[in-house]
Amino acid sequence: MPIIQAGKLSRSFKVPVRKDGVGGSLRHFFDRQYKHTDAVKDVSFDIESGERVGFLGQNGAGKTTTLKMLSGLLLPTGGEAVVCGFTPFDKKPAFLAQIALVMGNKQQLLWDLPAKDTFQLNAAIYGIDDVEMRRRVDELSGMLEVSALLDQPVRKLSLGERMKCELLASLLHRPKVLFLDEPTLGLDVNAQVAVREFLKRYNEATGATILLTSHYMADITALCSRVLVIHEGQLVFDGDLSDLTARFQPKKEIQIKLDRPVTDVDVALVVAGQGVHHTKTEGRVAHFVVEPAVLRETLTRILARLDPKDLSVQDPPIEELIGRAIRGDHGAERAAKNPRSSSSEPA
């Protein structure tokens, strides 16, 4: 049985509507009108125990709303969710003891006190005795490399150090499911790498399930082989990162460097076949985009006729593939047609 199940999960909000001008403001005061906005609509997916899944989408797409419903902070207005065998919004103690929600723009640490004081508070909430608490803190602080920081007031810690301590506080009760909403938000590159490496090691050591949202694609590519893409509240892709690449058939980017300036004749030779387009020339370097189906033929022609000094073939950045998934480029099918998802309507 999947550890996380979302079935046609939906959440709408009642939003006040006010017309412009003084008259609109007065009418709004005495006779307020509302409209309903769908933040999440008919989202369905299953996540197995131990998976690390990336949850992607633009700002306002519905990622955080979905995480809040799965963690019990928001009541769905439609559909259902089951996490660890429980209905999240019932907020049963047995359910809360098996999950953790970490939000990069929120903190639970007590600002003027050392982080270890928050750990003691969390241990008391979850019924962890002092001996076990110290053992877990020692283990996690060693993995996170924050052992020397636990006696310092939280306000004196850097942003990266605070995030590591936030993770420690959230993992003290050893949850089975981690909901991570932008955990590396605002961190420098070194801190981002440290958090990613810790989450990967923690997942491998404990088998905890991770559902991660992030605007840093390096977080997703480093941690998650499977991604969910949400757009305007609806699931538009559910599958492996490799499937995303294959599904949207990205063109390859070719760069050739000659030992002389590139001429129009050289460019014409490369684009002689179908599916090859010249993008720019910079002195001795020329750039092209090529359809995957004609890549081998194009490379053969370049090597045989131009004898390049250097040649490189690259995939487009993962951000471009995600953008195509969100826009529905190339007539992409919705998640309902993906065997790993049961979402039924397009965005």
Strand pairing category for 234-240 and 310-314: unpaired
Question: Is 19's pLDDT higher than 90?
Answer: no
Which of 198, 229, 245 marks a domain boundary? 245
Integer Cα distance of 200 and 168 in angstroms: 14
Least confidently predicted of 33-42, 110-119, 232-241, 334-343: 334-343
Domain tally for the chain?
2
Confidence of residue 344 (pLDDT cuts 50, 70, 90): very low
Cα torsion angle, 96, 201, 213, 145, sign = positive
Here the CATH number for the domain that contains residue 89 is 3.40.50.300
Asked if residue 238 and residue 275 are part of one domain, the reply reads no
pLDDT in tens, 266-302: 999 888 878 898 989 999 999 998 988 888 899 998 9
Mean pLDDT in residue range 149-173: 94
Report d(CA 281, CA 267) in Å as an integer.
9
| Res. 121: pLDDT tops 80 | yes
- The single-letter DSSP state of residue 262 is -
Query: Does the predicted TM-score (pTM) go above 0.85?
Result: no
* Domain with 295 in it: 251-314
333 found inside a domain: no
Mark whether 207 and 269 lie in a shared domain.
no
Same-domain check for residues 194 and 218: yes
In this structure, the answer to whether residues 118 and 237 fall within a common structural domain is yes
- Same domain for 121 and 93, yes or no, is yes
184 in the same domain as 47: yes
Paired strand residues for 82: 5
Q: Which of 192, 221, 245 is the last residue of a domain?
A: 245
Q: Is residue 16 assigned to a domain?
A: yes
Tell me: do 146 and 265 sit in the same domain. Answer: no
Is residue 82 in some structural domain? yes
